[in-house]
Amino acid sequence: QVELVESGGGWVQPGGSLRLSCAASPTGRDLCMAWFRQAPGKEREWVAYINSYGRTDYADFVKGRFTIYGDNDKNTAFLQMHSLSFEDTATYFCAAEPGTGCYSWDPAEFDYWGQGTQVTVSS
């Protein structure tokens, strides 16, 4: 069993930045850690993931703006978001899947989820 706790959401103006954090417990496990987001009335969509070796991948709509990075010792994943726009407004969820690699963008393939943190981009 893996528990995920997110933090760092909030309100930001267009063009602004936020950093989200996701802490997994217990620590010491190989995890694929990912961020998804879901806007009202829309399906949950994959944003980025990082595997236990630090390899990352991003959805096209965040490339160049978002960076995912982690602290393997603490099983913590961060999502640094820059140049935020109205379209980035959503609830952001951290997800994890045991193992060293990340193999899917499908939310159904992730067994563990955080409670979500709201990101609102508004002027």
Task: Supply the mean pLDDT for the chain.
Answer: 94
Sign of CA dihedral 90, 30, 28, 67: negative
pLDDT at residue 71 in the model: 82
Tens of pLDDT, residue by residue over 43-80, are: 999 999 999 999 999 999 999 999 999 987 778 999 99
Using pLDDT thresholds of 50, 70 and 90, give the confidence band for residue 28. Answer: confident
CA distance linking residue 78 with residue 26, whole number of Å: 17
In DSSP terms, which residues pair with 54 in a beta bridge?
none
For 120, counting Cβ atoms within 10 Å of its Cβ (0-12 exposed, 13-18 middle, 19+ buried), the class is middle
Using pLDDT thresholds of 50, 70 and 90, give the confidence band for residue 29. Answer: confident
3-state SS, residue 73: helix
CA distance linking residue 113 with residue 79, whole number of Å: 15
pLDDT at residue 78 in the model: 97
If you average pLDDT over residues 33-52, what whole number do you get?
A: 96
% of the chain beyond a pLDDT of 70: 99
In DSSP terms, which residues pair with 49 in a beta bridge?
34, 57
In DSSP terms, which residues pair with 23 in a beta bridge?
5, 76
Tens of pLDDT, residue by residue over 78-121, are: 999 999 999 999 999 999 999 888 988 999 999 999 999 999 99
In DSSP terms, which residues pair with 119 in a beta bridge?
10, 90
Question: What is the four-CA torsion angle of 83, 60, 97, 106, rounded to 10 degrees?
Answer: 130
pLDDT at residue 68 in the model: 97
Task: Kindly state the helix (H) or strand (E) to which residue 93 belongs, with its residue range.
Answer: strand 90-98
pLDDT at residue 27 in the model: 83
